[in-house]
A and B are shown apart, each in its own frame.
Chain A
Amino acid sequence: MAMTEFAIQTRPVTVLNFDTSMANDKDNEAISSHLYEEAETFDYYSCEEAVKRLNDYLDHELNADERADVVKHLKICKPCLERFNFEQSLVITIKTKVKNLCAPPELKSRLSSLLHRP
């Protein structure tokens, strides 16, 4: 999508309320700091640059600066903001719903008895 369509929107209408809700749950800053070293500067007007970082963004693999770069784009690009929001909701939905599948109690008691057998 061409950024020029949205560049006139100087202030974000939608609040970035999704941004901090899941942050800091992983120790990830060291992992990803080298990721985008080839890109000297982040082009805030490029949807492509932001979308390239979508998964790292969703999984909290970006360091603070990299994350700020993406957020800066989302603040000026409503289409990307909506899509990123959607992707984040999808991940959260999947994560939440699959947690309902648990190991059968019989399996748990079998493991316990195997561990404690004489």
Chain B
Amino acid sequence: MIDESNEIEPLGSGNPPEDADRIPTELASSEDEAPAKPADPAVFEAEMNPHLDSLYRNAMRLTGNSNDAEDLVQDTYLRAYRFFHQYQPGTNAKAWLFRIMNTVFLNDYRKKSRQGDQLSYDELEDFYLYNKLSEEALSKEQSYNMANPEDVIVERLGIEEIEDAIRKLPGEFRETVALATMEDLSYQEISDVLHIPIGTVRSRLSRGRKLLQRALWQVLGKTDPDALGNGDD
């Protein structure tokens, strides 16, 4: 089901325009359309191409599949090119691209994207993964040294497990956690990208990272039926 009450609003005021090629509202006011003369592709590429991998990863997290992710990257990239004159050199190009991607996604992709699994928000504890590893070490013959539980994580967690766990998070948590944890955006930049107050960034991060730890524990093959519901009950 689409969560229409999502805090993330399409940008700007009023309803989003209907046409497929609409402008990210925060990038172009009504009198500030794309310039008649296109930007120099070489300049654009030099500035933006270093972030293509990050863009693709973000698109994968948003859409949940590689086909839509590629389309979303392409739409974002072309729109960024069209509005490159609005980019301020010296600011974070990655954050700028993510902001465009988020707008494109909300306008054109969200309805068909996966919404994340239903997770129970109850009893979100601090240091969930650390505690679980500690419990595991105590309950079994100690197969690893709890002096360095982080070594266990480094060893056991692969890219598949991480991406699986991220995909289990509800959208708003997934984006915030991913942008802070994986993409090195500051809280202010995340606030700008997602158009949410910085306090919301913090609260989503706080809950989202705890949810992520539960999801990681689950994808590591551990069962914890109380932690992750499937939404069927």
Interface residue ranges, A against B (CB under 8 Å):
25-28, 31-32, 51, 54-56, 59, 61, 82-83, 85-87, 89-91, 93-95, 97-104, 107-108, 110-112, 114-116
Asked, given contacts A86-B149, A103-B73, A114-B74, whether A31 binds B56 with beta carbons under 8 Å apart, the answer is no
Contact B186 A28 (CB under 8 A): yes
Asked, given contacts A95-B184, A115-B44, whether A107 binds B154 with beta carbons under 8 Å apart, the answer is no
Residues in B neighbouring A112, C-beta threshold 8 A:
45
Min CB gap B183→A, angstroms:
9
Apart from A90-B153, A104-B70, list 7 A-B contacts with CB within 8 A.
A54-B126, A55-B202, A55-B205, A85-B150, A101-B159, A103-B55, A107-B56
Q: Count chain B CB atoms within 10 A of each CB in A26, A32, A56, A94 and give the residue with the most.
A: A94
Asked, given contacts A51-B126, A59-B187, A107-B74, whether A93 binds B53 with beta carbons under 8 Å apart, the answer is no
Which partner residue on chain B sits nearest A52 by CB separation? B206
Contact B78 A114 (CB under 8 A): yes
How many chain B residues touch A (CB < 8 A): the figure is 43
Contact A94 B52 (CB under 8 A): no
Residues in A neighbouring B145, C-beta threshold 8 A:
none
Cα distance A61–B163 in the bound complex, in angstroms: 25
Contact A86 B202 (CB under 8 A): no
Which partner residue on chain A sits nearest B161 by CB separation? A97
Cα distance A103–B97 in the bound complex, in angstroms: 15
Q: Count chain B CB atoms within 10 A of each CB in A26, A100, A110 and give the residue with the most.
A: A26
Q: Is B182 an interface residue (CB 8 A)?
A: yes
Residues in B neighbouring A82, C-beta threshold 8 A:
130
Which partner residue on chain B sits nearest A108 by CB separation? B52
Min CB gap B212→A, angstroms:
8
Residues in A neighbouring B150, C-beta threshold 8 A:
85-86, 89-90, 93
Residues in A neighbouring B159, C-beta threshold 8 A:
97-98, 100-101
Which among B129, B182, B213 is the interface contact of A98 at CB below 8 angstroms?
B182
Cα distance A27–B92 in the bound complex, in angstroms: 11
Q: Is B81 an interface residue (CB 8 A)?
A: yes
Cα distance A31–B186 in the bound complex, in angstroms: 9
Interface hits, B188-216 → A, CB 8 Å: 188, 198, 202, 205-206, 209, 213
Contact A101 B154 (CB under 8 A): no
Residues in B neighbouring A98, C-beta threshold 8 A:
57, 159, 162-163, 182
